[in-house]
Structure formats: structure tokens, C-alpha cells
A and B are shown apart, each in its own frame.
Chain A
Amino acid sequence: MNRKLRTKLMVVALLTALIAGAMLATGPDESGAAARSAAGSVR
């Protein structure tokens, strides 16, 4: 594997880690009901 290809694969791996980390760090998905409630349907 040449150096250029290795560098590009490393960048892709870093991007993947960054995006995955961001998705996980922002917490689990809220349910649709909870989101609708938060959107302002007040009793």
C-alpha cells in the first residue's frame, strides 16, 4: 500500500470516527412522541 493511499484511508477512518462519535455523543434518538411533545403540544 503506498503512502498516499494509506493517508487517504487514515483520513476516511478519522472522519468515520468523528461522525460516529458525534452521533453517539448527541445521545440516543428520542421517540417521535417525545419529540412532538417537545415541539409544543402543551396540555
Chain B
Amino acid sequence: MTAVTEAPAGPVTKGPVPRWADLAAQATLWCAIPSGIWRILFGLGLPAGFTGSQDPANGPWFVLPYVITLTAVSEAVAFLGLGLVRPWGETWPRWVPFLRGRPVRPLAAIVPAALGSVALITIWTPLVFGFDNTDPELPHGAKAVILYACYLPLVAWGPLLAAVTAAYAVRRRRHG
């Protein structure tokens, strides 16, 4: 009796996606989550170590909607990176008007992803060396450690995205 391999359900990428690239793309989603959670809890008023003029209770009314929006935007941007290892990153999905079913131009994905990874590396890599909290109104001690631990995963986002972008470029070059 011969084994029958079932065709995968739904669209597939034109070329095989390396497992490491798929895992790296999924990891980028998780990079932004701890900081997003911290940010929302901070906006909700949990004690994050900011005092005086830095205390959100002394800040404008829109702190909470702002941090929620910022977190949602961060995750949405991270989710776009997942397209580099998914069929919808090669062919526009059916629900996209005008472009549905058309191939995504490789550079239309590669250039923004590459620029994004450079921006992320530029912004977050300095965090590896710590952050300046000489201002007494910024978090200190254990609260600074919590802040740092939540934001440190962001350091990996840029390099992971760069690697996934490179894998996408190679795959599109080989398989169209």
C-alpha cells in the first residue's frame, strides 16, 4: 500500500520556506509582546516607577489610548513581517481590492522590510547597553529591571526581520 500525501489545504508559497525562517518570523511577533503588555499596564496605572512629571497620573488624558494604539500598531507591523514566510507575502490576498490574486513585487516587500529591520536595529540595539535612568523620576531598582526585561526582546526584532527578509529575497529570486 502506498502512502498518499495530502496536498496542504489553502495557498502555499511558490518555493519552500526554510523552517528557521518560519520560526524567526513567528519570533518577531513575540519580540514586541512583553513591552506592549508593560506599556498597557503602565497606561492602566500600575506602578511602573515613573513619578512626578513622568507619572501618567499627572499626564494628559490620552496616555491610555495612546499606549494601546502604539502596542496595536507595533504588533500589526510585526505581523506584516510574517508575510515574508506566508503565501500572502507572494500573492495579494483575495480581499485586497484591485490587487487580489496578483503577484507581490519582490522589492515591494523586500525594501520596506529591509528598511524596517535597519530602523529597528538602530532604535533598539543601544538598549543592550542599558538605559539612562539618572533622572529620579524614571524607574529605578526592581522597577527598572522589569522595564528593561520587557523591552530587551525588542533588540532581537531587527536582526530576525533582516534574516527573514534575506530568506524571502533568496526564495523569490529562485522561485518567482
Residues on A lying within 8 angstroms of B by beta carbon are 12, 15-16, 19-20, 22-24, 26-33, 35-36, 38-39
Residues of chain B touching chain A, judged by Cβ–Cβ distance below 8 Å, are 33-34, 37-38, 41, 46-55, 136-137, 140-143, 146, 150
- Judged by DSSP, the binding face of B is helix
- Asked if A19 contacts B41 (CB within 8 A), the reply is yes
Query: Contacts A31-B52, A32-B136, A35-B136 given: A23-B33 contact, CB under 8 Å?
Result: no
Question: Is A24 a contact partner of B37 (Cβ separation < 8 A)?
Answer: no
Closest 5 CB pairs of A and B: A32-B52, A35-B136, A26-B142, A32-B51, A23-B46
User: Which residues from chain A contact B141 at a C-beta distance below 8 Å?
Assistant: 26
Task: List A contacts of B51 (CB < 8 A).
Answer: 29-32, 35
Q: Which residues of A contact B52 (CB under 8 A)?
A: 31-33
- Structural contact, A19 and B146, CB atoms closer than 8 A: yes
10 A-B pairs in the complex with CB atoms less than 8 angstroms apart: A15-B33, A15-B34, A16-B41, A22-B142, A24-B46, A24-B47, A26-B141, A26-B143, A28-B47, A29-B55
Which residues of A are found within 8 Å of B47, using beta-carbon distances?
A: 23-24, 26-29
